[in-house]
Amino acid sequence: MAPISPRKLETRKFGKTGLEITRIGLGTWAIGGGGWAFGWGPQADKPSVEAIHRSLESGINWIDTAPVYGTGHAEEVVGGAIAGRSPAPYVFTKVSLLWDSRRRVRSSLKAESIRQEADASRRRLGLDVLDLLQVHWPNPEEDIEEGWRALAGLKDEGKVRHIGVSNFSVEQMERAAAIAPVETLQPPYSLVHPEVQDEILPYAKQHGIGVIVYSPMASGLLGGTMTAERVQAMAPDDWRRKDPEFKGARLQRNLALAALLAEIGKEHHASAGEVAIAWTLRNPAVTAAIVGARSAPQVDGFLHASEVRLTQTEVDRLVSFP
């Protein structure tokens, strides 16, 4: 694959971390492959590495991953793909989800478990220090304080530069903030699931918390290429086959919304997916969006999103969609 010239992508200050990140980051959930409860079906490593390289060559300066994605595999792929690259991208990963020999996943926020997870992530990624370590899910909820103290300790020790949370409520963030500042937040946010814009995003903005939203295209529903036939053809171990948003009347509604996104995109020379991503980026609380890709062409298909500026009329059409 021939190298391409990096484009100048818009950046934003990532809360109070001091990092300047591009408004789009590469998500690696899908490249972990299948064989576990929330896998996306089979995925070869070669196109995954090509997607990572294309994103970096295109100017994206950060990657979001997690140990549980492919039960360690996504981090291994990322580590191999970024080894020796200069400049190195920021790498953000997570803790709190563990798996057994049968790849069954469970939650833990125990301090010793978190320390072991962080060390394992550093080995898989080939990094001495993690740029950002996030609590993946606030479960078990009674252990939030213990888990957050462990993350704060890792930061104090220099193993982690910044610490954040994912999928936390306002009340859960306040519990963590009583121990150590919450620097970043990673919530789901899309036209299909806009709920966090009511309380969680305003809270983050008020407290200077950097926000990177995930699934801005609703796991592919709003990308403009999803069809009922494609859903039926998904691999048996693709978690989306079980998601209510990919079934029946809700699927038809979401595909109609994607068609509206494609219509609006024509005015911006943008795809439906790029408009869906741009809709999340217009929220003043949102620093950047995590966009997953399983191949280099998929990366090419969303790079324009941060340049799309939706009019108020277009936003109104989207938010009023039945």
User: Which residue is associated with the tokens 């990673």?
Assistant: 186
Could you give the maximum distance between any two Cα atoms of the chain, in Å? 53
Look at residue 7 in the predicted model and tell me its pLDDT: 59
Backbone torsions φ then ψ of 130, nearest 5 degrees: -90, 130
Mean pLDDT of the chain: 96
Q: What is the 3-state secondary structure (H, E, C) of 149-175?
A: HHHHHHHHCCCEEEEEEECCCHHHHHH
Mean pLDDT of 201-221: 98
Q: How confident is the model over 294-318, as pLDDT tens digits?
A: 999 999 999 999 999 999 999 999 9
Positions marked catalytic = 69
Answer whether 0.85 is exceeded by the pTM. Answer: yes
Look at residue 1 in the predicted model and tell me its pLDDT: 36
Q: How confident is the model over 248-277, as pLDDT tens digits?
A: 999 999 999 999 999 999 999 999 999 999
Mean pLDDT of 238-251: 96
Superfamily of domain covering 15-219+286-304: NADP-dependent oxidoreductase domain (3.20.20.100)
Domain ranges of the chain: 15-219+286-304
Q: How confident is the model over 40-90, as pLDDT tens digits?
A: 999 999 999 999 999 999 999 999 999 999 999 999 999 999 999 999 999
